Structure 1
Amino acid sequence: MNMGQLYMVATPIGNPEDISLRAIRILGEVDVVICEERRQGSTLLKKLGITPKQLISLNEHNEAEQAATLVQRMALGEKMALISDAGTPVFADPGAELIRQAVKMGIPVTAVPGASSLMALLSLLDTKVERFVYAGFLSRSPQERRQELQRLLRLNLPLVLMDTPYRLSSLLEDIEKTAGKNRRVTLGLNLTLPGEQVLRGTVSEIRRMVQDRKAEFILLIH
């Protein structure tokens, strides 16, 4: 019996048109589409006009157990695709354990690249960035978050951060307190969506522009 395969399929981060022809084909062909949450996965696939043969959830709560079951099925010949709620799978999302077990079993793992909020922001910068540090989501605790920021800023490299929409304001406040009000930042808000914005300036200027606004974002500290 032929071994199955695992595809890591990038999906749109906002605009549903940001999906590759290859991704659409793979998602329509595989036996199983694996997503973080069934409801969000189903909604996303419906927008893309894709009806999966089977939809299974894999998240931080069930990954260890679910991965073992899925890998066994792939070992018997099934092909599966992992998607995240938005963007590139595993990048600040579940999936690493699934890949680890698949690789251990000798199952081919293939990337189907596409939308990424990180690359979207970097492509819009008005300054050259050859090296940077991606720190992702910092601690939820304000005190711990500031300590993490202090350690990361000592690296003296551009720093990329993400977080949930409701922590945008508090994150900017923490950056101002640790890096100083004149530290330059670039903030991407709701990238690829009709109302997307890219704000450039000092952290104090960006704080005044944003105030208590909530939006999907990715942030670069220069």
Structure 2
Amino acid sequence: MVTTAGTLYVVATPIGNLADISARAREVLAGVDAICAEDTRHTRQLLQALGIDRPLVALHEHNEDAAAAKLVERLRAGERLALVSDAGTPLVSDPGYRFVRAARAAGMKVSPLPGACAAIAALSVAGLPSDRFCFEGFLPAKAAARRERLAALVGEPRTLVFYESAHRIGEALADLIAVFGGEREAVLARELTKLFETVLGDSLAELAARVAADPDQRRGEFVLVVRGNHDDADARLREGRRLYTKLCEHLKPSVAAKLAAELSGAPRKALYGGDPDP
């Protein structure tokens, strides 16, 4: 038995190719007292494919707050529990952090079993700067909220990583073009590790055209990797002005400008009491 009493194991599972599960993950899933799963039907299929039969407990965004306390009590009693999501690494755009937080607050051991993650897999093959990146998960479903979120990221110098669904990928690309411009470099990774995996790299405008022209490129699960803003000076200034506007709601303009400049790296005079250009 490789598991320890009173421990919560956070277990990464394959995002497509079943062979990507680690030997340790298989051992732990087979050895715990129960497995907490986002969708028990999906996880049951995975376990059957692995030849594992363990009790399943539903843990999703609608019941996590109520279920976490009961599960922590099971850990206190010495049970070994595993936490999985439908695919990939738990808590990455998936429920589970409240349970992990409650377990840690109760002094229980929480142990990660690393493995597949769609965001990292896409970043690794994108050929875009990866020394610094920003994971944004799923964009809002409604167009207005989506554009508002993108507007806040337009000056971000780090590479951006998004998840997107098949029925919104066209709209998301259109909004990215509207906010970031069609020439921004990006990579669209679809169905990673699965039979119909594709990784397309081009400008946002070219990617949108390829998706519109090919119905296959509107099927499956998507990770969109977008190059950050190249102009760091302009990005700092935009971020500084955004922060200055927000801080002015609560602070004197001179204090707001000082803090915004410190946080963003933008010149203070460009934010308050000086030339509007850096």
Band of TM-score, shorter chain = over 0.9
Confirm or deny: 8 A CA contact 1:168 1:214 kept in the other structure: no
- Find 2:222's aligned residue among 212, 217, 222: 217
SS of residue in 2 equivalent to 1:12: coil
The match for 1:18 is 20
Distance in structure 2 (CA, Å) of the matches to 1:144 and 1:62: 26
Q: Which residue of 2 aligns with 1:63?
A: 64
For structure 2, which runs of at least 5 residues remain unmatched after alignment? 228-278
Q: Is the 8 A contact 1:75 1:107 kept in 2?
A: yes
What amino acid does structure 2 have at the position aligned with 1:46? Q
> Contact between 1:200 and 1:206, CA under 8 Å: does it hold in 2?
yes
Which residue does the alignment assign to 2:247?
none
Q: Which residue number in structure 1 is paired with residue 52 of structure 2?
A: 50
Equivalent in the alignment of 2:8: 6
- 1:188-216 CA-partner distances (Å, limit 9, x unpaired): 00000121010000111111111151220
- Residues of 2 paired with 1:172 and 1:46: CA distance? 37
How much does 1:3 deviate? 5.3
| 1:157 aligned residue | 158
After the TM superposition, which residues 61-210 of structure 1 pair with which residues of structure 2 at under 5 Å, given as runs?
61-210=62-211
Question: Does the Cα contact within 8 Å between 1:166 and 1:215 map onto a contact in 2?
Answer: no
Task: Tell me how far 1:5 sits from its aligned partner.
Answer: 0.6
What is the distance in 2 between the residues matched to 1:3 and 1:32?
12
Q: In the TM superposition, what is the alpha-carbon distance from 1:183 to its structure 2 partner?
A: 1.2
Instruction: State the alpha-carbon separation in 2 of the partners of residues 105 and 144 from structure 1.
Output: 37
Name 2:41's counterpart in structure 1.
Answer: 39
Whole-Å separation in 2 of the counterparts to 1:196 and 1:3: 40
What secondary structure sits across from 2:146 in the alignment?
helix
Q: Which moved more, 1:193-202 or 1:160-169?
A: 160-169
- Native 8 Å contact 1:185 1:202 kept in 2: yes
- The answer (yes or no) to whether the contact 1:189–1:196 under 8 Å persists in 2 is yes
TM-score (norm 2): 0.77
Kept after mapping to 1: 8 A contact 2:164/2:224: no
Q: Which runs of 4+ in 1 moved over 4 A?
A: none
Give a deviation string over 1:76-109, Cα, whole Å, max 9, x none: 0000000000000011111111011111111100
The runs of 5 or more residues in structure 1 that have no matched partner are none
| Higher RCO, Cα 8 Å, sep 6+ | 1
The offset of 1:164, in angstroms, is 2.0
Check whether the contact 1:11–1:114 (CA below 8 A) recurs between aligned residues: yes
Displacement after TM superposition at 1:125 (Å):
2.3
Q: Deviations over 1:103-141 (max 9, x none)?
A: 111110000000011111111122432111111112111
The percentage of aligned residue pairs carrying the same residue is: 40
- Deviation of 1:49 after TM superposition, in Å, equals 2.0
**More divergent stretch after superposition (168-177 vs 17-26):** 168-177
User: Aligned AA for 1:40?
Assistant: H
Quick check: 1:3–1:107 contact (8 Å CA) kept in 2?
no
Partner residue in 1 for 2:240: none
The structure with the greater share of residues assigned to helix is 2
Residue 156 of structure 1 deviates from its aligned partner by 2.4
Distance 1:96 1:72 in 2: 17
Which is greater in Rg? 2
Structure-1 separation of matches of 2:196 and 2:180: 29
Return the letter of the residue paired with 2:172: L
Q: Amino acid of the residue matched to residue 23 of structure 1? A: A
**TM-score, normalized by length of structure 1?**
0.95
Residue 14 of structure 1, CA deviation = 0.7
Task: Return the alpha-carbon distance in structure 2 between the equivalents of residues 171 and 75 of structure 1.
Answer: 45
CA deviations over 1:131-161 (Å, ceiling 9, x no partner) = 1111111211101101110111222221111
Taking only aligned residues, the RMSD between alpha carbons, in angstroms, comes to 1.3
